[in-house]
């Protein structure tokens, strides 16, 4: 669509009053030579820009024409057939490399031309991201479209004065306008945003338990798959992680995937896993993996947490003035305290003294533990502050399926849902939604969509058969 020029809106005003005054702007006719010069300049710049942005597409069109003019149509036809046959053979022989080098680029060009460029002006205008000033329409600039195997990534230059929040508030408009089922806005750099439009959901199907490779990993362990299809490593050493989700959201998948990833390191003596299981339904199935560091009774849970605090304080005394960061060793292993349904211990516990002991111990561990190699991985259903007062002491948070939109920001922080963390829209069907969550790390405010692998009962039995006894105190 052409831009409106000054005076166009005034020209279109119609009054039915016979004696009304009609104001028209003064029209100055530009000499034809200047008009031709401007049009020629714009056409030349546009041509160079098209060649610069799409060299392969331009070459594919111009090369056969030039070859036919110079060498005849037969030579051009043979060259075209050979050129088409070579990529087809490449596609059949090496589909992965063909997709990476050719397929995704062709898809990006097609999506840019047919979907985004064609609909850019109306979508920007209807969604309110275009501005009209002085009779002119100003549009954000579509910079580049890149395709990954699972999503379209659109780089945009915002209008001067716009903020990332303006775009985050219109993700639904953008998703429907560009025929996507979802849109997420990522702040790229000052003045620019990146729009991510997933084309297909890699996380729609359950992920089987990841294989135990035997590699000793402590700082971060593989727990599942990201939305782009790559493996996701959950950082455990040097942080604390809170997993929040409604009943049946898949919290157990995150807990067991983390435990599963740490088993080789526990076998090597570099990790100790301490388990608190007040429900007696989740961690008890693999109780033999934790040795004598397992508790279910509230009193025993308080004792185990206070024992972890003592270890933490003893290490802090030895490390003071000597080292600032913890390195896992056999003498000072990384201790991961896993708490299933922490709200039962901190809010629903009827014994006030026991509840206060547990809350105090957890607060101490989450404020002082990560520097000396003591981490907490806790899961809960209700993310309200009155249920878990120390919620903000967990640097890294994971929001699984939640009941209300407001709960998303309670877990991940203000504005997380506007940035695309739609945890309240995750399917309640276990086959399609269990284990899916949005991860927000301390170092990045942008939520990442991940699905944790499902560790079945048979997987846990196999883990117990191979690694039982390695968690005993040395």
Six token digits for residue 202:
């890699």
The count of other CB atoms within 10 Å of the CB of residue 334 is: 25
Question: Is the per-residue pLDDT at 32 higher than 80?
Answer: yes
Q: What's residue 385's pLDDT?
A: 76
| Structure tokens belonging to residue 95 | 């589909």
Give 154's pLDDT tier (boundaries 50, 70, 90): very high
| Residue whose C-alpha is closest to residue 371's, from 216, 271, 266, 237 | 237
Overall average pLDDT of the 372-381 stretch: 94
Residue written as token pair 């991961």? 336
The reply to whether 389 and 312 lie within a common domain is yes
* 235 and 353 housed in the same domain: yes
* Calpha distance 35→437 (Å, rounded): 57
Tell me, yes or no, whether 77 and 116 share the same domain: no
What integer is the mean pLDDT of 442-450? 88
Last residue of a domain, one of 165, 200, 235: 200
**Is the model's pLDDT at 94 over the cut of 90?**
no
Does the annotation place 261 within a ligand binding site? no
Percent of the chain with pLDDT over 70: 93
Give the C-alpha distances (Å, rounded to integers) separating 375 from 236, 265, 272: 7, 15, 10
CA separation, residue 395 to residues 402, 410, 412 (Å) = 20, 14, 10
Higher pLDDT: 338 or 184? It is: 338
Of 200, 226, 253, which residue sits at a domain end? Answer: 200
Q: Is 145 exposed, middle or buried (0-12, 13-18, 19+ CB in 10 A)?
A: buried
Average pLDDT over residues 168-185: 90
250-283 residue pLDDT tens: 999 999 999 999 999 999 999 999 999 998 888 9
| Residue span of the structural domain in which 62 resides | 38-93
Report, as an integer, the average pLDDT of 27-54.
86
Q: H or E element: which one contains 466?
A: helix 457-467
Give the span between the Cα atoms of 294 and 296, in whole angstroms.
Answer: 7
pLDDT at 17 over 80: no
Q: Is 228 found in the same domain as 141?
A: no
Count Cβ atoms within 10 A of the Cβ of residue 286 and give its class: 0-12 exposed, 13-18 middle, 19 or more buried: buried
CA 436 from chain center: how many Å?
11
Final residue before a domain boundary, out of 200, 228, 256: 200
CA distances from 225 to 67, 328, 454 (A): 48, 26, 11
3-state secondary structure of 394: coil
- What pLDDT score was predicted for residue 22? 64
Q: Is 248 annotated as a binding residue?
A: yes
Q: Which pLDDT belongs to residue 191? A: 92
- Residue 258 is labelled as binding a ligand: no
Question: Given a cut of 80, is residue 238 above it in pLDDT?
Answer: yes
- Element (H or E) spanning 136, and its range? strand 136-138
Within this chain, do residues 58 and 136 fall inside the same structural domain, yes or no?
no
Q: What average pLDDT does the segment 395-413 reach?
A: 93
Residue 8 has pLDDT above 60, yes or no: no
Specify the pLDDT at position 288.
Answer: 92
Q: Is 37 annotated as a binding residue?
A: no
Alpha-carbon distance of 374 to 207, in angstroms, equals 29
Judgement on whether residues 112 and 62 belong to the same structural domain of the protein: no
Residues 6+ apart with CB under 8 A from 317: none
pLDDT at 67: 78
- Please give the angle made by the CA atoms of 161, 167 and 169, to the nearest 5 degrees: 120
Question: Does residue 327 fall inside a structural domain?
Answer: yes
Q: When comparing pLDDT for 69 and 40, which is higher? A: 40
Confidence band (pLDDT; 50, 70, 90) for 14? Answer: low
Is residue 1 pLDDT above 60, yes or no? no
Edge-to-edge strand list for the sheet holding 271-276: 231-235, 220-226, 444-452, 436-441, 396-399, 241-244, 374-380, 334-339, 271-276, 294-295
Residue 244 annotated as binding? no
With CA atoms as reference, report the closest residue to 83 among 111, 110, 100, 102: 102
Q: Which segments of 394-456 are extended strands (E)?
A: 396-399, 436-441, 444-452
Check residue 117 and give its pLDDT: 92
The more confidently predicted of residues 85 and 192 is: 192
pLDDT at 18 (0 to 100) = 65
Q: What is the mean pLDDT of residues 4-24?
A: 59
- The mean pLDDT value for 166-181 works out to 91
Mean pLDDT of 310-325: 91
**442, HSE (Cβ side, Cα atoms, 13 Å):** 13
Is 246 annotated to bind a ligand? Reply is yes
When the pLDDT of each residue in the chain is averaged and rounded to a whole number, the result is: 88
The CATH number given to whatever domain includes residue 119 is: 3.30.980.40
- Is 328 within a domain? yes
pLDDT at 450 over 50: yes
Any domain includes 442 = yes
The total number of structural domains in the chain stands at: 3
Q: Is the pLDDT of residue 98 over 80?
A: no
Mean pLDDT of 125-153: 92
Q: Is 279 annotated as a binding residue?
A: no
Task: Say how many CA atoms lie within 13 Å of 242 toward its Cβ.
Answer: 27
Q: Is 347 strand, coil or helix?
A: coil
**pLDDT tier at 228 (50, 70, 90 boundaries)?**
confident
Q: Is 325 helix (H, G, I), strand (E, B) or coil?
A: coil
The domain that contains 254 carries what CATH number?
3.40.50.300
**What are the residues whose beta carbons fall under 8 Å from the beta carbon of 362, sequence distance 6 or more?**
305, 339, 342, 346, 376, 378, 390
Q: Binding residue per annotation — 29?
A: no
Residue 4, domain member (yes or no)? no
Tell me how far apart the alpha carbons of residues 303 and 26 are, in angstroms, rounded to a whole number: 87
The pTM of the full predicted model, rounded to 2 decimals, is 0.78
């Amino acid at each position: 669509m052409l831009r409106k020029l000054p005076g166009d809106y005034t020209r279109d005003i119609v009054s039915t009053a016979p004696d009304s005054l009609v104001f028209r702007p003064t029209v100055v006719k530009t000499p034809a030579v200047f008009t031709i010069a401007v049009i020629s300049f714009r056409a030349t710049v546009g041509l160079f820009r098209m060649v610069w942005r799409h060299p392969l597409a331009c070459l594919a069109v111009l090369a056969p024409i030039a070859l036919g003019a110079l060498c005849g149509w037969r030579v051009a036809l043979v060259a075209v057939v050979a050129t088409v046959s070579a990529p087809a053979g490449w596609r059949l022989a090496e589909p992965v490399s063909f997709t990476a080098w050719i397929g995704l680029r062709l898809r990006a060009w097609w999506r840019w031309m047919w979907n985004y460029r064609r609909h850019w002006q109306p979508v920007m205008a209807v969604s309110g991201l275009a501005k009209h000033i002085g009779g002119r329409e100003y549009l954000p600039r579509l910079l580049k479209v890149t395709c990954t195997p699972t999503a379209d990534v659109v780089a945009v230059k915002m209008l001067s004065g716009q903020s990332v929040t303006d775009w985050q508030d219109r993700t639904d408009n953008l998703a429907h306008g560009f025929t996507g089922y979802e849109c997420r806005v990522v702040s790229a750099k000052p003045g620019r945003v990146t729009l991510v439009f997933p084309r297909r959901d890699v996380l729609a199907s359950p992920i089987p338990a990841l294989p135990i490779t035997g590699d000793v990993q402590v700082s971060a362990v593989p727990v599942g798959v990201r939305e782009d299809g790559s493996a996701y490593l959950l950082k455990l050493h040097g942080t604390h992680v809170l997993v929040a989700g409604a009943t049946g959201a898949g919290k157990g998948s995150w807990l067991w995937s983390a435990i599963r990833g740490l088993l080789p390191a526990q076998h090597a003596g570099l990790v100790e896993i301490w388990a608190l299981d007040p429900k007696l339904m989740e961690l008890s199935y693999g109780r033999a993996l934790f040795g004598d560091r397992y508790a279910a009774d509230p009193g025993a849970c308080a004792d185990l947490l206070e024992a972890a605090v003592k270890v933490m304080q003893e290490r802090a005394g030895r490390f003071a003035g000597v080292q600032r960061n913890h390195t896992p060793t056999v003498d000072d292993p990384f201790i991961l305290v896993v708490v299933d349904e922490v709200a039962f211990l901190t809010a629903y516990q009827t014994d006030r003294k026991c509840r206060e002991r547990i809350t105090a111990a957890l607060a101490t561990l989450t404020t002082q533990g990560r520097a000396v190699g003591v981490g907490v991985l806790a899961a809960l259903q209700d993310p309200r502050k009155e249920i878990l007062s120390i919620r903000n002491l967990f640097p890294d948070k994971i929001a699984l399926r939640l009941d209300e939109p407001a709960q998303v920001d309670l877990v991940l922080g203000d504005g997380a849902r506007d940035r695309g963390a739609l945890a309240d829209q995750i399917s309640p069907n276990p086959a399609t939604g269990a284990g899916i969550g949005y991860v927000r790390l301390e170092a990045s405010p942008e939520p990442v969509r991940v699905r944790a692998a499902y560790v079945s009962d048979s997987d846990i039995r196999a883990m117990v058969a191979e690694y039982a006894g390695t968690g005993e105190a040395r």
